[in-house]
Amino acid sequence: MVVTRILAISPHLDDAVLSFGAGLAQAAQNGAKVTVYTVFAGVARPPYSPAAERMHSIWGISPDEDAVLHRQKEDIAALGHLGAEHVHGEFLDSIYRKAPDGRWLTDHVEGRQKLKIEKQAPESNLALFSEVKAAIGSVVGEFAPTLIVTCAALSAHIDNEITRDASLAVASERGIPIRLWEDIPHATFGSGKIELPRGFRLGDPAFGSVESEARTRKFQALELYPSQLVMFDGPEKNFFGALDEHAGKNSPDGGYGEVSWPVIVPESDS
């Protein structure tokens, strides 16, 4: 089957480019129509959680500026550079949400650029999951993709897990092939366990080699996320070198590429 319409379903405003940007650039270069739907890209209104305010500061976004709109502009520029179209969802990132008891869902870890996300009972996320699934279904209905790609949720981040599981449900119901990308930068720190919903199982991992132009476009697109790149790259960090090194460990020929897995949906087991 020739893939002509790819829908990448990204949890946040940079995840798709970080994890699968070269593959998307290569697909667009090969003539595919590529669209990235970012689920948790909704505009939040103050007051913000202390964790959100701290992240805004790390990102270099002033208190007078709308952080989500700032990041949306970065995303539009980055995806455009890859040759992909963008769709921004209305759901709030976890740093802007509250738990059922009214506490903020996330807190920051003192002295580090990390977040602590409140663990929730599965039933507390059922309504959000249903809403995300419906939104993904609407986007899928509009763009009629021949392939869906989304995150493997190696980080166990609640936003990523909801995005992945809702995407799997929609793909299964509509008979659309789906692949999971290896979450970057988390995969560069070590491999995590992928736990799929009941009935789904992973196929064998595949390394998607790309041409040097696609690698270059990915790296250039990542530079269009300065608010996020500040957390990964810098004088004492070599993020782009780490990406090359990670790809080299998986590459059969030393070239650049990205890892993804096909998902065997329940209907395929019968």
From first to last of its 270 residues, the chain has per-residue pLDDT tens of 456 999 999 999 999 999 999 999 999 999 999 999 999 999 999 999 999 999 999 999 999 999 999 999 999 999 999 999 999 999 999 999 998 888 999 886 665 556 667 666 556 689 999 999 999 999 999 999 999 999 999 988 999 999 999 999 999 999 999 999 999 998 988 767 899 999 999 999 999 999 999 999 999 999 999 999 999 877 778 999 999 999 999 999 989 999 999 999 875 444
Residue 255: alpha-carbon gap to chain centroid = 23
Annotated domain spans of the chain: 5-124+135-150+167-230
Fold of 5-124+135-150+167-230: Rossmann fold (3.40.50)
Quickly count: other Cβ atoms within 10 Å of residue 211's Cβ: 16
Nearest to 14 by CA among 246, 222, 240, 214: 222
pTM here is 0.94
Q: What angle separates helix 126-143 from helix 158-174, to the nearest 10 degrees?
A: 50
**pLDDT value for 155:** 85
**pLDDT value for 1:** 43
Angle at CA 256, nearest 5°, toward 250 and 261?
50
Q: Pairing between strand 206-209 and 257-264?
A: antiparallel
C-alpha to C-alpha distance for 218 and 224, rounded to whole angstroms = 10
C-alpha to C-alpha distance for 202 and 205, rounded to whole angstroms = 8
Cis peptide leading into residue 145 (ω within 30°): no
CB 219 within 8 A of CB 184: no
Query: Tell me, what amino acid is at 244?
Result: D
C-alpha to C-alpha distance for 9 and 164, rounded to whole angstroms = 8
